[in-house]
Structure 1
Amino acid sequence: MSAIYFDTDDDAAEIVKALQSEGYSTELRRESFAGEDDSEDRAWLLLVDPFDERVIEMVDVYGGWMPGDERLPDRPADLPDSPLR
């Protein structure tokens, strides 16, 4: 199994549903990184088996990321024009 990370559970749940409908085995859980204290800020870790090119295509569609993934997103994230107050 290989790991895919998501910032939100909504994105992770969508890809789990899609992968399971195609016959993949999945496991979804919270994962904290070194030094993280906030349990609500932990990433969602999705383990997928088998891990193949189809899974990698779906990761890009559903907004996940993989450690060591050097591909850049299609466009940068939208940022506010001015400070929020």
Structure 2
Amino acid sequence: MPDIYFDEADDASDLVKALQAEGYETSLRAEAFAGDDDAEDKAWTLAVTPFDDRVVEMVDVYGGWMPGDERLPVDGEAAELPDAPRRRKRPDLG
């Protein structure tokens, strides 16, 4: 079962409550990023049993993400990228 990650503890907590109300078992923990010294900068990792399509639907609604998931968030759209690199003018040095 894949872990579900959140940047915000409140989002993770809200999903935990919703999942538990539907009878899922959950385990939420704070996880530091590899090489990160900042104690405040942690991801919230959620494990859910059983892990099924309903869980995936709810992850999208509550703002979580899973490694390898390339789908767009429910309320998001792909960002428009420029067609070519921007060119910056160099200031006159003379």
- Band of TM-score, shorter chain: 0.7 to 0.9
Deviates more, 1:6-15 or 1:66-75: 66-75
Give me the whole-angstrom Cα distance separating, in 2, the residues matched to 1:35 and 1:69: 24
Q: Which ranges of structure 2 fall in alignment gaps of 5 or more residues?
A: 80-94
Whether the aligned pair in 2 keeps the contact of 1:14 and 1:62 (CA below 8 Å) is yes
CA drift of 1:75 comes to 2.8
Partner of 2:4: 4
Q: How does 1:61-80 map to 2 (within 5 A)?
A: 61-73=61-73, 74-75=76-77
Cα root mean square deviation, aligned: 1.5
* CA shift for structure 1 position 59: 0.3
CA–CA separation in structure 2 for the residues paired with 1:13 and 1:75? 25
Show CA shifts across 1:30-74 (max 9, x none).
012211111111100011010000000000000000011111232
Matches within 5 A, 1:1-85: 1-73=1-73, 74-75=76-77
Count of matched residue pairs? 77
**For the pair shown, which has the larger CA radius of gyration, 1 or 2?**
2
The residue type paired with residue 30 of structure 2 is R
Worse-superposed segment, 34-43 or 16-25: 34-43
Matched-pair identity in %: 70
Moved over 6 A (4+): none
Greater mean alpha carbon deviation, residues 66-75 or residues 13-22 = 66-75
Is the partner of 1:39 in helix, strand or coil? coil
Greater CA deviation, 24-33 or 66-75?
A: 66-75
- Can you give the 5+ residue segments of structure 1 that lack an aligned partner in the other structure? 78-85
TM-score by length of 1: 0.83
